[in-house]
Chains A and B, each alone.
Chain A
Amino acid sequence: MNSTTMPTSAVPQRTASAKPKSLLLHPAAKVALFAVCLLPFAYLFYAAYANTLGPNPAEALIRKTGDWTLRFLCITLAITPLRTWVKQPALARFRRMLGLFSFFYVVLHFLSYAWLDMGFDIDAIVKDIPKRPFALVGFLALLLMIPLAATSFNRAIKALGAKRWQALHKSVYAIVLLGLLHFFWMKAAKNNFGEVAIYAVVIAVLLGWRVRQRFITKRAAALPAR
């Protein structure tokens, strides 16, 4: 009798002792995040329609979509360190969506440029991009993001194998640095580095944390060998 009641009583005991289930694991969390990530787009779309983007709306759209690309890249890269800093491993389930939103905004950024600035004149675009080093760097970052977005679904991970998939997706570090260089170079024309410095610090912390982790795990692996 006792032996049969034990397991049933253990169930409520376990839930009572465990931490309350994280809201992050709620099925609606992803939907909510999706909606939040669309807010900048919704705002820009409305502002363009209502003509509240200032005297040069084309320039404003190009700049703002670029800002949001860099922001989303930073947020995506913040997920892994945040998991340990705030002890919320569940955050990992949002990483793919955030990465894809970075891609969404970079595509908008490029389309705004190609459409509003160049009128989709392919000839002019092909001539314009190499002319401007900062544009070339940004374009390179966009090209590097395409394989990452294209391999973001589960079947691609399986097809590539976890190791190769991870190696490929490490290029996000190069992408964010190219993005930062693109922004820095654009602002360099006016020696205006205030905003660039903020992104540089954030990216330095996010990448620096990874370098440190690597160093720690390497040393830990080396210790027992002695």
Chain B
Amino acid sequence: MHFLKNRGFVHPQASDITPQGVYEGRRDLLKLLATGAAGATLAAWAGRDALAQTVRPNKLAALAGVRSALPGAITMEKLTPYADVTSYNNYYEFGTDKADPGRSAGSLKPRPWTVAIEGEVKKPKVYDLDELMKLATLEERVYRLRCVEGWSMVIPWVGYSLAELIKKVEPTGNAKYVEFVTLADKAQMPGLRSGVLDWPYVEGLRMDEAMNPLALLAFGLYGEVLPNQSGAPVRAVLPWKYGFKSGKSIVKIRFTDRLPQSSWMKANASEYGFYSNVNPAVDHPRWSQATERRIGEDGLFQKKRATQMFNGYEAQVGQLYTGMDLKKNF
């Protein structure tokens, strides 16, 4: 019988072996547990496992990032498969169906690329993509992404905190908001012919939101450069806000003293507000935001999972909104 066959010595998987440091420090760990201070230590330890699952899909050029040490930057949840991340996208410049960008974003040319920094800054500048990428250490961060439509993913991004760039360009005292302008080129983007939105796609943040270290300027995902349909070559990732707030293929970052009018606010101000923070208690006018379906993970007959306040990043960003009526400032 096969299951009784002696297979000899079975080599353990690398991931099964307890790291020597952990093994040797087991007494300290027990002490920590006893004092209740183990939470943070264990989070970092388990984070290594989260990182271990990032296997390069070998589709695009490699872009490595060091594991982020920022609290909350690495969720231990199961990653959404690369195939799903790259075939289920809302990127209206390539069509409004979620299968459209994966099929038609091949026409986007992510290089050469420049990003203009304008407005209320002491050092306005047009950055070449390569220079922008070298501005700070690239980190790998595993964020939850919650779409306003009621689905979610877990994606390993590569990039650095937007704050790093903001500090370099030195905003003036008048800079209250940051506005992201994304590419709008009819030759590269077939979806621009439709009048769904006011092109170019514009999104914005309050300065303190933009300075929050979780706000990521991303250049890659899954250890490789961004696929076109995911917003190549550079995009924003704001994990506590609905996905549409994170502008893709950014060409301009403008600092202003006035509240930016985003494309979605112009299209439907009563449904899409400036903040658009993930909030299970504030429904979209046309549907509930209390639950979400995790793409590629929740089975067909599985109940949808509960959506978390600020998409689970309340500890990191909650203080930005203290005292605000989040029902009014949706």
Q: Which residues of A contact B (CB under 8 A)?
A: 48, 54-59, 61, 115-117, 119, 124, 127-128, 131-134, 189-192
Contact = CB atoms under 8 A, between A and B. Distances in A.
29 contacts: A48-B300, A54-B87, A54-B88, A55-B83, A55-B84, A55-B87, A55-B88, A55-B98, A55-B295, A55-B296, A56-B88, A56-B98, A57-B300, A58-B293, A58-B300, A61-B300, A116-B300, A116-B301, A128-B287, A128-B288, A131-B283, A131-B288, A132-B286, A132-B287, A191-B96, A191-B194, A191-B195, A192-B97, A192-B194
A192 B96 contact: yes
B99 interface: yes
Given A54-B99, A56-B151, A128-B287, A117 B296 contact: no
Contact of A115 (B83, B88, B301): B301
Nearest to A49: B300
Interface of B is mostly: loop
Interface string B192-203: 001110000000
A109 to B, nearest CB: 15
B254 interface: no
A127 B283 CA distance: 12
Interface of B: 83-84, 87-88, 92, 96-99, 151, 194-196, 283, 286-288, 293, 295-296, 300-301, 303-304
Contact of A56 (B288, B295, B303): B295
A73 B261 CA distance: 43
Given A190-B196, A191-B96, A131 B301 contact: no
Contacts of B84: 55
A187 to B, nearest CB: 9
Given A55-B87, A116-B300, A190-B92, 13 more contacts: A55-B83, A56-B98, A56-B151, A56-B295, A58-B293, A116-B301, A117-B304, A127-B288, A190-B196, A191-B96, A191-B196, A192-B96, A192-B194
Contacts of A133: 286
B195 A56 contact: no
A54 B99 CA distance: 9
Contact of B196 (A48, A117, A124, A192): A192
Contacts of B295: 55-56
Contact of B293 (A56, A115, A127, A189): A56
